[in-house]
Amino acid sequence: MKIPELSKRLMSAVGFVRGGILADVGTDHAYLPVYLYKLGRIRGAVAADINEGPLARARANIAAYGAVEGIDTVLSDGLAKLEGYRPDDIVIFGMGGELIIHILDAAKWTRSERIRLILQPMTKQEEVRSYLLENGFFIVGEALSEDDGKVYQTICAEYRPEEKAEPYTRVELLLGRENIAKGGELFARLLAHRIEVFSVAAEGRRKAGRPDAEIEALVDQLTALKG
């Protein structure tokens, strides 16, 4: 059976997909829905993108791998045209955290207990986690992956407004509560990068005569995790 080879970054979504109908937002080449459909992991999918170019590539791949009968393509700004597909799992990878928040906030129908969100914010992971927790979502799983020397965070969440998580610390919002608990080599690399970024910021503030106690404390908390 001919199936596409997924990058480690995309593979991090696979374990969170439950089946049913998948919505892949910002699909680009549609490799993830094709992979899942050909392996029988989903009943079908809708691959969406805001630009026609990526959708054309997606259609070509869907046809090349013989998945036309199971995967639709839609020109859509985020989730704007996907509600009618009633997706069970929604994947949003390869976007900045602010854009992911904007997409979710514009699609209030995703606040449904039958829908699972599988997100990989390229930036502002702290803000994405905060948004989810403040809007009735519960983070049910997390994973780290590496691609081209960079460590990516995947966040899996479900709408569970009655189920309240213990309050997250700033460090947990940055790195992920489950990622911290699991540790490992990728986590060590992610942690080292965060320490470096915030240490540079703290040093810059000190040199400018404007020390920031909050950033200094965060560097200390991150450094403590190295042990």
* Ordered per-residue pLDDT tens for the chain, 227 residues: 689 999 999 999 999 999 999 999 999 899 999 999 999 999 999 999 999 999 999 999 999 999 999 999 999 999 999 999 999 999 999 999 999 999 999 999 999 999 999 999 999 999 999 999 999 999 999 999 999 999 999 999 999 999 888 999 999 999 999 999 999 999 999 999 999 999 999 999 888 888 889 999 999 999 999 86
pLDDT of residue 117: 98
3-state secondary structure of 27: coil
Give the amino acid at 126: E
Question: Given this model, what pLDDT does residue 112 score?
Answer: 98
> What pLDDT was estimated at residue 205?
87
- Residue 211 carries which DSSP code? -
Return the sign of the alpha-carbon dihedral for residues 35, 149, 121, 117: positive
Q: Give the pLDDT confidence score for residue 164 in this predicted structure.
A: 83
The per-residue pLDDT for 73 is 98
Classified as helix, coil or strand, 117 is strand
pLDDT at 211: 84
Which pLDDT value is given to residue 125?
98
CB neighbours (10 Å) of residue 51?
Answer: 10
Single pTM value for the model: 0.96
